[in-house]
Amino acid sequence: MNQVTGQLSTHTAVVAIGKESVGKSQLIASLTQKPAYSSNFRGTTVACETYRDGDRTFVDTPGILRQSDSVTTATVLNRLPESDTVLLVVQATHIDEDLAELLPLVQGKRGVVAVTFWDKVRATVEAMEVLKRLRQSSGIGFIPVDARHLSASDRVQLLEALSSPGTFTQEFKPEPIGWWIEPSPTVLEHRSWGLVAAILLLLLPAIIAVGTANALAGFVEPLVQGLTKPLVEQLNPLPSLLREILVGRYGLVTMGPLLFVWAVPTVVLYALFLGAYKASGLIDRITVAIHPLILPFGLTGRDLVRVIMGFGCNVPAVINTRACSSCSRGTCISAIAFGSACSYQFGATLGVFAAAQLPYLVIPYLLYLTVTTLIYTRLTAPKKARSPLNKLLVQGRSFLEFPHPIAIWREARSTLFQFFLQAIPIFLGITIIASLLDWLGVLSLLSGVLRPVMGLFRLPAEAALPVVFASIRKDGILLFTEPNVVGALTPLQILTAVYLAGVILPCLVTLLTIVREVSWRFALKLLSQQVVAGVSFSLLLAWGSALFEHLMTTLLICVINPLQ
């Protein structure tokens, strides 16, 4: 049995090894023309994307960013039997550097070298002669390709080479070729404006996706509620427990359709935006520009993209951390769980602000969420994740091109599959759990225990139930819109309430995804850290802001009274 695929051992593995952003994932997707599925590699904790293609299985390992990731790659390579093949992916534009760093990792393995970005090198007779000499001196196939636009002939040539791979020997020392091709700079490389442009471009998809989706949801939700109301009335005579699961206040029929109204448009739009960024090469430029700013907080520029992705849905964001540097993945997951207000949480938060007729509160909410998330990651990140030696990322500037629709879909498809095939089933399961807990009175019991605690946050006792339910499902924040709750809260209390409910714990969907992706031990450690941070930052918001308001009022009185 092959542990990579779960299939019979007649399937051989082709394991792709290469630096980050060399076009490795695009090459495999174009080569196999198959969707990927996720798995850990043969008894290791190394998470890979896997593609089935006939009698071969292509395994896309995490791109190498720094020395710690070379160790991760070496772990995968040590698990390869003789029947498996290495597909070493290097950039034609930086071929000397890539070969020097990667060849030591694959010594003794059988494989082929794919030379990507060949379209950036003039395919002259001299250039083809260089690859011919490399083939002759190594006994290994060096196949030039354009990973973004893989031609049929290139595909055939690469598959034929994989059928008769050579061996990477210690004796093979490639001659220096001297190719070093850099693309033209843009505003993202500007010393003063590059960081500003990168932040704006990074936030733009989230702003447009969330704004458009929420506007659409506001129009569609009354229609959906009208369609489900007759069904709810028909199911009301069912036995108590079944009625609670289906049409209770947290039931499948009651709340399930809202998932598709609020979350699905956001996830789809955001996935397409990010797909366009990736297919064009723009995402690499953005992450390089923003990396120096975010590194002191234990994250890389590429990690920040995944944190922002969590505003669509935390599940694909957590799964996509598989491509993080091995030293920053835990920090990135923690930042997603704490600070990525998913489409459900953010939509519910906007709903509370709207119900209170205080829509402007979204600005201080996002500012405080951003600042506290950065502080949280800085305090919890391991020292090696904050190391200035973590240079990262891509080799020089990436090449930009207008994204083809097929390439955009290929990039977005993985996120959408993860959402529909993993997040939604978990969400529906948690809907049943929430209904069962409500039917058993557990939610009321827990909120009763927390009612006296709400005073610590300068909140009324009625805030306990929304906080408890939001720890299971983030749309529980909407319970703050009840007239007896929202009408009794000041703007500062509303801000404190939605912040506390949003960050004190990750929702169960996110938590279960973290358990599956990493471990229970990591998840429990994350929970304890997040509870402490969430409580501390909420107390600071409640009492610090109140003190600030008091000081400002006193100052105004002292200024105005003498004038009168």
What would the 3-class secondary structure string for 473-539 be?
Answer: CHHHHHHHHCHHHHCCCCHHHHHHHHHHHHHCCCCHHHHHHHHHHCCHHHHHHHHHHHHHHHHHHHH
For residues 58 and 159, state if they share a domain: yes
CATH number at residue 50: 3.40.50.300
Pairing assessment for the beta strands 37-40 and 47-53 based on DSSP bridges? antiparallel
Confidence label for 327 from pLDDT (cuts 50, 70 and 90) = confident
Any domain includes 541: no
For residues 244 and 317, state if they share a domain: yes
Residue 246: cis peptide before it, omega within 30 degrees of 0: no
Q: Average pLDDT for residues 460-485, to the nearest whole number? A: 85
Global pTM value: 0.76
Collapsing DSSP to helix, strand or coil, 81 comes out as coil
Any domain includes 435: yes
d(CA 359, CA 206): 18
For residues 131 and 226, state if they share a domain: no
For residues 134 and 244, state if they share a domain: no
d(CA 352, CA 251): 21
For residues 219 and 126, state if they share a domain: no
Cβ atoms within 10 A of the Cβ of 552, count? Answer: 10
Q: Is the pLDDT of residue 7 over 50?
A: no
Class of residue 564 by CB neighbours under 10 A (exposed 0-12, middle 13-18, buried 19+): exposed
Contact 504, 534 (CB under 8 A): yes
Give Cα separations from 372 to 88, 297, 310, 418 (angstroms). 41, 11, 16, 28
Number of structural domains the chain divides into:
2
Any domain includes 412: no
For residues 148 and 219, state if they share a domain: no
For residues 19 and 163, state if they share a domain: yes
For residues 150 and 246, state if they share a domain: no
* Residues linked to residue 397 through DSSP beta bridges, in sequence order: none
pLDDT of residue 4: 39
Any domain includes 546: no
Q: Average pLDDT for residues 221-241, to the nearest whole number? A: 85
* Biggest alpha carbon–alpha carbon distance for the chain: 94
Amino acid at position 463, single letter: A
pLDDT digits (tens, 9 = 90+) for 166-187: 999 988 888 888 887 777 888 8
Confidence label for 8 from pLDDT (cuts 50, 70 and 90) = very low
Cα angle 315, 316, 318; round to 5: 65
Any domain includes 428: yes
For residues 472 and 517, state if they share a domain: yes
pLDDT of residue 498: 94
- The number of C-alpha atoms within 13 Å of 4 and in the hemisphere containing its C-beta is 26
User: By residue range, what is the domain housing residue 355?
Assistant: 197-386+418-536
What phi, psi does 92 have (nearest 5°)?
A: -60, -30
For residues 304 and 219, state if they share a domain: yes
> Which has the closest alpha carbon to 458: 487, 483, 484, 495?
495
Final residue of a structural domain among 152, 167, 182: 167
Cβ atoms within 10 A of the Cβ of 361, count? Answer: 19
Any domain includes 181: no
Any domain includes 182: no
User: Mean pLDDT lowest for which of 103-107, 292-296, 447-451?
Assistant: 292-296
For residues 339 and 434, state if they share a domain: yes
**Range among 52-56, 86-90, 93-97, 549-553 with highest mean pLDDT value:** 86-90
pLDDT of residue 476: 83
Any domain includes 229: yes
Q: E strand or H helix at 111, and its extent?
A: strand 110-116
pLDDT digits (tens, 9 = 90+) for 234-249: 888 888 888 888 888 7
Contact 114, 99 (CB under 8 A): no
For residues 149 and 228, state if they share a domain: no
224-232 long-range CB contacts below 8 Å, 24 or more apart? 224/257, 224/258, 224/261, 228/253, 228/254, 228/257
Collapsing DSSP to helix, strand or coil, 74 comes out as helix
